[in-house]
Amino acid sequence: MSVLDSFDVALLRALQENCQQTSQQLAEQIGLSPTAVQRRIKKLREQGVIQKEVAILNTQMLGNRMTVIIQVILEKGGPQVVDAFKRRMRKFREVQQCYYVAGEYDFVLVVNVGNITEYDILTRKLFPEDLKISKFYTIIAIEAVKADLSLPI
Amino acid sequence: MSVLDSFDVALLRALQENCQQTSQQLAEQIGLSPTAVQRRIKKLREQGVIQKEVAILNTQMLGNRMTVIIQVILEKGGPQVVDAFKRRMRKFREVQQCYYVAGEYDFVLVVNVGNITEYDILTRKLFPEDLKISKFYTIIAIEAVKADLSLPI
DNA sequence: ATTGAAAGATGACCGCA
DNA sequence: TGCGGTCATCTTTCAAT
């Protein structure tokens, strides 16, 4: 993995804002030729620095969906319990984010569901009896003031 | 705002995975002609259903950055305090996500910084004396097991 | 849904450090 | 050798039918 120069950083910043810009537009912004921009994008994709390029949808336009934050404490029990939990979380499309955290809780989840009924159904599937969940706390989001994943590089 | 049919939903699902697919690729997946796909994408963008299209970067490839979750309690004091806080959070690139929440806390933030020193500097800027912050609790993420914003539609 | 014109991406080639 | 620039070609988009 080669090191990123200032052109790469400028390019990544621009692509985090909008990845549909033409190489010409990007080229003007960062001061390079369109072809050089393309070559760099290709490389950054291959290296995995650019993980994916995705559409961000407007939650408010898709029925009043709700976001909840769930803090989870697992019953004490080795890394295999933790790993099983991680694998489980990755499977559920409703679990947008899952952080393995230090401190009082073991995991913090950001979950998106259509309504409170779906929330209830989901938690039963996420945390079945046989899974070693000790306790979980739910925080309901009233408003997503800001929601992106861009890195402040 | 017109209602979404099953083609739109299929299209949105695909674009949440990868927004760089050609209209031909998308057309094959959802069973429509490339032109129809283009028209629908155009409309969904104009309507704002597709909010933006962005590159997701690999945190691990950009120096060992850290994610922290911060729970904030404001001092009691009308909507103008809440609004001022929201406006402030939107300004900071390090604040990836900010949820206004119900319950014990007023806000939950997901913050990304380069290291613990940057975290310290940031919190001083995020929560200056004059702002009505009563208390904040920080949770350090050991690992981002999953991090996306795609909606489970 | 098909078609044709315009725009953009991709690859080959040259030059420079 | 690695990287940037230009040019030619192929692909994709987009609007009109």
Q: Mean pLDDT in chain B?
A: 95
Residue B52 belongs to some domain of the structure? no
Judge whether residue B1 has pLDDT over 70. no
Q: Which of B50, B145, B150 to mutate to test the interface with A (most CBs of A within 10 A)?
A: B145
The residue range of the domain holding A113 is: 59-140
Classify A71 as helix, strand or coil. Answer: strand
Mean pLDDT throughout A115-142? 94
Q: Is residue A145 part of a domain?
A: no
Cα(B104)–Cα(B102) distance, integer angstroms? 7
| pTM reported for the whole predicted model | 0.94
The answer to whether residue A116 scores a pLDDT higher than 70 is yes
Q: Which residue has the closest alpha carbon to C8 C1'?
A: A22
Please report whether residue B114 resides in a domain.
yes
Quick check: is B147 in a domain? no
Q: Does the pLDDT at position A1 exceed 70? A: no
- Say if residue B43's pLDDT is above 90: yes
pLDDT at B2: 73
Q: Distance in angstroms, CA of A88 to C1' of C6?
A: 49
For the residues B29-36, what does the mean pLDDT come to?
94
Q: Identify whether B28 is part of a domain.
A: yes
Q: What is the CATH number of the domain that holds B42?
A: 1.10.10.10
Same domain? B67 vs B121? yes
Which residues make beta-bridge pairs with B112? B67
Task: Work out how many domains chain B is built from and give that number.
Answer: 2
- Percent of chain A residues past pLDDT 70, beyond the cut: 99
The domain that holds A63 is classified in CATH as: 3.30.70.920
B90 & B128 share domain? yes
Kindly compute the dihedral angle of the four CA atoms of residues A87, A92, A94, A99, in this order, to the nearest 10 degrees.
Answer: 0
pLDDT in tens, B58-77: 999 998 899 999 999 999 88
Chain A, 56 to 95: residues with Cβ < 8 Å from chain B are: 56-59, 61-62, 65, 67, 69, 86, 89-90, 92-95
